[in-house]
Amino acid sequence: MTDLTQKIVWITGASSGIGRALAIRAAEAGCQLILSGRRQEALATLAASLPVDSLILPFEATDYPSLADTVAAAWQWRGRVDVLINNAGISQRCIAMDAKPEIYTELINVDLIAPIWLTQLQLNRMADAGGGHIVAISSVAGRIGAPLRTAYCAAKHGLIGYMDALRSEVDKVHNIKVTNILPGSVATDVARNAITGDGGRRGLSDAVIDAGDDPLDCADAILEAVRNDQPELIFAKDMELGLAQMRHADPDTFFEAVAEFGKQTVTQYWEEQSSTG
């Protein structure tokens, strides 16, 4: 079991939602934090509220030419990064038929290519330091094909695949642990900030998200998974947990259940579009 006290933990997407909750809980565990995101003011407010040393390191996740300098700044702060938590991301709420091709590029860049780049730039440094821990916040949608989320599912499935393959290369050889987190519905602004078919933001939450788990409970579970060097954690309940488990255990029943769920969801989507159009 890994003691997180005084560990240097870098959290992306730290200004809100699960990222903010992770910062709060990691600070309570005695970690020193690197807080990243795009909103510097929100990061500064968060850092000021925490009882531990924090480095505010705002950056744009898809500004790939600048990422090497960002990583260098993170490592220079305390000479190491013990845990990188790839949390920054966006979701989607539109059917494939309504989605411009450009939203696939944007969402896969943010949710897949950006965390891959940031992870790649840590690996040699972590290996030279004797080890580390990479955490990827994927989603239950990284295990199942959820309606209204074709681009999001593509990115989150891809993130799990990359991290699983990475684990096979670095776990035993370099003592770099890799943990995939698959949250279900957590009460954040993820649905409100989701991309729509024209590339705009939805501006509307989902009832299932609003009734979801407390982000602080999710953060507790994530940090416990890190302490235990757990390769994967599904943080979900009820139907979401059942479908994630059924995907491999009983695929025929799974595909039938998802088809019915998709039919209901798309019908609801059309009704919503009609009422707002």
Task: Name the 3-class secondary structure at 191.
Answer: coil
The answer to whether the beta carbons of residues 153 and 141 sit under 8 Å apart is yes
The answer to whether the beta carbons of residues 205 and 191 sit under 8 Å apart is yes
Give all strands (DSSP E) within 101-175, no chain letters. 132-137
The answer to whether the beta carbons of residues 13 and 37 sit under 8 Å apart is yes
d(CA 114, CA 111): 6
Task: Name the 3-class secondary structure at 21.
Answer: helix
CATH superfamily assigned to domain 8-276: NAD(P)-binding Rossmann-like Domain (3.40.50.720)
Helix (H) or strand (E) holding 45: helix 40-49
Residue 273: the pLDDT is 80
pTM of the model: 0.93
pLDDT above 70 covers what percent of the chain? 99
Q: Return the domain boundaries, the chain.
A: 8-276
Burial of residue 164 (CB within 10 Å: 0-12, 13-18, 19+) is middle
Identity of the residue numbered 189: D
Q: What's the token pair of residue 171? A: 């776990």
Residue 274: the pLDDT is 78
DSSP string, 194-255: -B-TTS-B-----HHHHTSB-HHHHHHHHHHHHHTT-SEEEE--HHHHHHHHHHHH-HHHHH
Annotated catalytic residue, options 64, 104, 152, 162: 152
Task: Name the 3-class secondary structure at 186.
Answer: strand
Q: Is 104 designated active site?
A: no
Name the pairing type of β-strands 132-137 and 8-11.
unpaired
Q: Residues of 31-45 as b/e, b for ≥16 C-beta within 10 angstroms? A: bbbbbbbeeeebbee
pLDDT averaged per 10 residues, the chain (length 277):
94 96 98 96 96 96 96 98 97 94 96 98 98 98 94 97 98 98 94 89 85 96 98 95 92 91 88 74
Instruction: Count the alpha carbons within 13 Å of 240 in the hemisphere toward its beta carbon.
Output: 19
The answer to whether the beta carbons of residues 38 and 56 sit under 8 Å apart is no
Q: What's the token pair of residue 104? A: 């696939």
